Amino acid sequence: MIELRDIYKIYSDGDGEIRALDGVNLHIDRGEFVAIVGQSGSGKSTCMNIIGCLDVPTSGTYHLNGTDVSTMNDIELAHIRNATLGFIFQQYNLLPKLNLLENVELPLIYRGMPQKQREEKAKIALERVGLLDRAKKMPSQLSGGQQQRVSIARALAGDPPVILADEPTGALDSKTGRDVLDFIKKLNQEGTTIVLITHDMSIAEEAKRIVRIQDGKIISDQPGRRATYEF
């Protein structure tokens, strides 16, 4: 369902150009759990942002569910981000002036769901991450791990078929990071396609497939070691 073909992302600044992505070809099927690993600055986030329709490649084509993303207008892209993709950011990116429930409701609001229904859905999502009892709290009243769980609840509230997580455990200690990872694995088992960026090899090993990026190029693409045990 995700199909990147000859993707280049080139930033030019005065004296030279930076090839953040240098001819990437990547195919991800429905239900996969892909971990993207690589050194800092290797182009992982750039790749993820293109998959997430937040950024556009300098050249190359990206097909999502068979449609060429470059042919979509702003409104269609917004609908894709809203219904097809769920984002989990390293920095959580919760809106500080909204309480947890309102934060989780956001994607549903943009979907035009009526108030009652979306409140219900948001509560279910919060319940799944175990934070329903704090629904009326503000993000600043939570620990980092709890905030990340809220951002996961927000990503899955709208039941998107794909979840994109850019270093979701990067700001968490290893114990909380593992909890979050277990949750993401559970989502994958329920059928959600997962693309996850991480520095932590022990986390990447849990994925079904590990894609290694270096200097904007994919240098290896192999199954995760531990993931195989589960099937």
Where does 111-143 have alpha helices with state H? 115-128
Per the listing, tokens 């035009």 go with 112
**Residue nearest Mg ion (C-beta atom):** 45
Specify the amino acid at residue 70.
S
Distances in Å between the alpha carbon of 50 and those of 95, 219, 221? Answer: 23, 19, 19
Number of residues that bind other proteins (CB under 8 A): 24
- Cβ contacts of residue 147 below 8 Å, gap of 6+? 92, 94, 139
Question: Min. distance of Cβ 68 from other proteins in angstroms?
Answer: 19
Specify the amino acid at residue 1.
M
- Establish if 11 lies at the interface with ligand ATP (CB under 6 A): yes
Among other proteins, Mg ion, ligand ATP, none, partner that 11 touches (CB below 5 to 8 angstroms by kind)? ligand ATP
Q: Which of 65, 67, 109, 189 binds other proteins (CB under 8 A)?
A: 109
- Establish if 20 lies at the interface with ligand ATP (CB under 6 A): yes
Question: Min. distance of Cβ 97 from ligand ATP in angstroms?
Answer: 27
- Cβ contacts of residue 164 below 8 Å, gap of 6+? 48, 51, 52, 85, 86, 87, 88, 195
Specify the residue, 82 or 169, whose C-beta has the smaller distance to other proteins: 82
In the complex, which residues of this chain contact other proteins (CB under 8 A)? 49, 52, 54-55, 74-75, 78-79, 81-83, 87, 89, 93, 95, 97, 106-107, 109-112, 154, 158
